Amino acid sequence: MRKITYGQAICEAIDEEMARDKSVIFLGEDIEVLGGNFRATPGLYEKYGGWRVRNTPISENSFTGLGLGAALTGLRPIVEIMFCDFMMLAGDQIVNQIAKIRYMSGGQARVPLTIRTTLGAGRSTAAQHSQSLQAIVCHIPGLKVVMPSSASEAKGLLKTAIRDDNPVVFFEHKMEYNKTYEVPEGEYIIPFGVANILKEGKDITIVGTSNQALKALQAAEELTKEGIDAEVIDPRTLVPLDKDTIIKSVKKTGRLLIVDEGYERCGVAGEIAMSILKDVFYHLNAPIERLTTANVPIPFSPALEFPLIPDEKKIYQRVKDMVLG
Amino acid sequence: MENKFNPIKDYNLSKEKLIKMYQDMLKIRYFENKITDLYSKGLMPGLAHLYIGEEAIAVGVCNNLTERDFATSTHRGHGHLIAQGCDLKRMMAEVLGKEDGYCRGKGGTMHIADFSKGILGANGIVGAGIPIATGSGYSAKVRGTDQVTVAFFGDAASNQGTFHESINMAAAWKLPVIYVCENNLYGISVDIRKVANTKDIATRALAYDIPGVVVDGNDVLEVYMVTKEAVERARRGEGPTLIEGKTYRWKGHHLGDPGRVYRLEKETKEWMARCPIKTYKERLLNENVATDKELVIIEKEIKQMVEEAANFAIKSPYPKEEEAFEDLFTEPEGVK
């Protein structure tokens, strides 16, 4: 299979959807000649022109709201918010407007809007450019939340997001853009709410969000040397969440570790655990555990930053502790 | 404060148009008087932010729009919707939280929307409709239509970031948006003159190099004319305009606020003497546009219409409990 980068996969998804549907427009900071801060989408501006691909001023709340207004009146916008940390500037439009207008209007509004943003630490950019704020978005009813792992996943899920008639917040992991992955040729989409089992196993279930699913897979492969057979699940979307696949897996393995790069407190990992606990309680051989980022801002120095973020080594160790006791 | 009006004939408007604007203003006034009545009888839940005293702005503006155009409204939004021709029955049912309301009881007075008339929603967040209107304008540009969008907002919203961010974008891209600031002088209790240095909010247009116009917000014909020019500019692709209508809310911030402790009675009385409906009626009569008899009939008809809307709303059932789970996503079964 051909190999392309995660960034190229994102770009292909947008390009294909813009070619397919004239109502798709793309707005955000530095997306014209730069192709975005992470250089993920070069060439779209040259191809689709200034109205369909447009640089915005640094006015996150209003350009996100502009995306909503365009979505309500016949377009299918993709709004890029460079870092999810900056999404907080658009808090009113995302939380109070985009998520609610369909509901508050009694179903009159249709909001085909995709917000692309980035999460993740690892670039020594300190506490305002390194967060993983998916839990905040998941907390708000009315938004779908997507956390793709690899490039092929990102492409198929982004195309689904763009075609969805509801607001979708699409979290790309900023450490992935330049990594190369196998991605199928041609057009394909991946539906929301269907988790992906990356590896089957019988001793423990590891649920990993975003690229933590890939790190979990790496850890699981190492763990086979220890005689531990882990099942690895990528939920793909947090809203909707494919609880059934996780429940089925945990009933089989009797153990569950959830890995998510967000802060631990009120986080996605805790939510997944609680949302399935009742269904799996009598099948558990050990308490459910989570591996997340500690409840501190992400520090600048790599010496401080990396120890805080979940990775394959930490997953490996935690699983070993959970299974071997 | 004096009432200075130009002769009606100078506006060169048809009798039909002149009368329609009178009818529209009366509809708003009677509709909100009825809300006051229903509220005092305990039939209306929540808060009622009344537009009484400001009718000329909504009516003067919306009479320049078609149903293909768009508008975003505010927490004080009844007037905008009525002026845009929304159905009084469905509005009143929404105000009472009933099943037949525009939003099936999920929005209430502060969030009525009617997408069929281009009303993209009233809004409980001050200044939040401004970017949405701007996006609607952007959409018209991309789709290549001559639709315009009006963003209604108050004086207090002009101190929100969204006001500046949005007008900046609309100006940079010449978007067909008309920004209508209803300056009623107070954001809840705060006097705009004490929290802003700009005497006229319209002068803020200078910062974005677009036209900014101050208009007597209690003179429906002046509002109509300045909006007409702004709409024509927008349709010609010449970009946005900021219009500031000077006006006054007669009531408090909402029905639970008498609106007295932070305003002088003298000021309120002076503005009430400049009632946009009463003064317009006098002009219609004095300048022989309509007879007293004609206007009495109109008043009676509108009273009747509002009465019917109220009866419809009172009789409408409340939504069923399980409907709280509907309308969140387009999937009828919801999203897990």
What does the buried/exposed string (b/e) look like for A124-134 if buried means 16 or more CB atoms within 10 Å of the residue's CB? eeeeebbbbbb
Residue B6: inside a domain: no
Q: Which residue has the tokens 């910062």?
A: B207
- Whether B124 and A96 lie within 8 Å, measured CB to CB: yes
pLDDT reported for residue B332: 87
Q: Enumerate residues 6+ apart whose C-beta is below 8 A from A325.
A: A286
ipTM of the modeled complex: 0.97
Domain ranges of chain A: 3-182, 196-324
Residue B232: inside a domain: yes
Q: Is A17 a catalytic residue?
A: no
pLDDT reported for residue B333: 86
* Of residues B124, B128, B143, nearest to A74 (C-beta): B143
Q: Which two tokens stand for residue A59?
A: 């006015």
- pLDDT tens-digit map of B145-194: 999 999 999 999 999 999 999 999 999 999 999 999 999 999 999 999 99
Average pLDDT for B94-111: 97
Residue B72: inside a domain: yes
Q: Which two tokens stand for residue B102?
A: 């525009």
Residue range(s) defining the domain that contains residue B24: 12-316
Asked if pLDDT for residue B2 goes beyond 90, the answer is no
Residue B288: inside a domain: yes
- pLDDT tens-digit map of B211-223: 999 999 999 999 9
pLDDT band for B1, please (50, 70, 90 cuts): low
* Of residues B111, B131, B147, nearest to A104 (C-beta): B111
Residue B40: inside a domain: yes
CATH at B243: 3.40.50.970
| CA distance to partner chain B, nearest, from residue A97 (Å) | 8
Chain A residue nearest residue B142, CA to CA: A51
Ranges of chain A whose pLDDT falls below 70: none
Residue B45: inside a domain: yes
Q: Are B175 and B138 spatial neighbours (Cβ–Cβ below 8 Å)?
A: yes
* Of residues A67, A104, A109, nearest to B135 (C-beta): A67
- Whether B113 and A52 lie within 8 Å, measured CB to CB: no
- Whether A73 and B141 lie within 8 Å, measured CB to CB: no
Whole-number Cα distances in Å, A206 to A232, A273, A295, B197:
5, 12, 22, 59
Q: Residue B4 and residue B8: Cα distance in Å, rounded?
A: 12
Of A55, A100, A96, residue with least CA distance to A79: A55
Q: Hey, what CATH class is A3-182 in?
A: alpha beta
Sign of CA dihedral A137, A138, A141, A145: positive
> Phi and psi dihedrals of B333, rounded to 5?
-85, 0
Average pLDDT for B127-133: 98
- Whether B115 and A67 lie within 8 Å, measured CB to CB: no
Q: Enumerate residues 6+ apart whose C-beta is below 8 A from A28.
A: A36, A55, A56, A63, A79, A80, A81, A82, A116
- Whether B328 and A144 lie within 8 Å, measured CB to CB: no
Q: Is A129 a catalytic residue?
A: yes
- pLDDT tens-digit map of A279-288: 999 999 999 9
- pLDDT tens-digit map of B275-310: 999 999 999 999 999 999 999 999 999 999 999 999
Chain B residue nearest residue A106, CA to CA: B103
* Of residues A74, A141, A165, nearest to B328 (C-beta): A141
Q: Dihedral, CA atoms, B189, B194, B196, B201, nearest 10 degrees?
A: 70
pLDDT reported for residue B4: 85
Residue B151: inside a domain: yes
pLDDT reported for residue B250: 96
Domain count, chain B: 1
CA A187 to chain centre: 21
Q: Which two tokens stand for residue A122?
A: 């690892």
Kind and range of the H or E run holding B261: none
Q: Where are the alpha helices (DSSP H) in A164-263?
A: 212-223, 243-253
- The one catalytic residue among A60, A153, A172, A305: A60
Residue B1: inside a domain: no
**What CATH architecture applies to the domain A196-324?**
3-Layer(aba) Sandwich (3.40)
Q: Residue A185 and residue A316: Cα distance in Å, rounded?
A: 33
Chain A residue nearest residue B118, CA to CA: A73
- Whether A105 and B135 lie within 8 Å, measured CB to CB: no
pTM over 0.90: yes
| Cβ neighbours of A23 in B, within 8 Å | 143
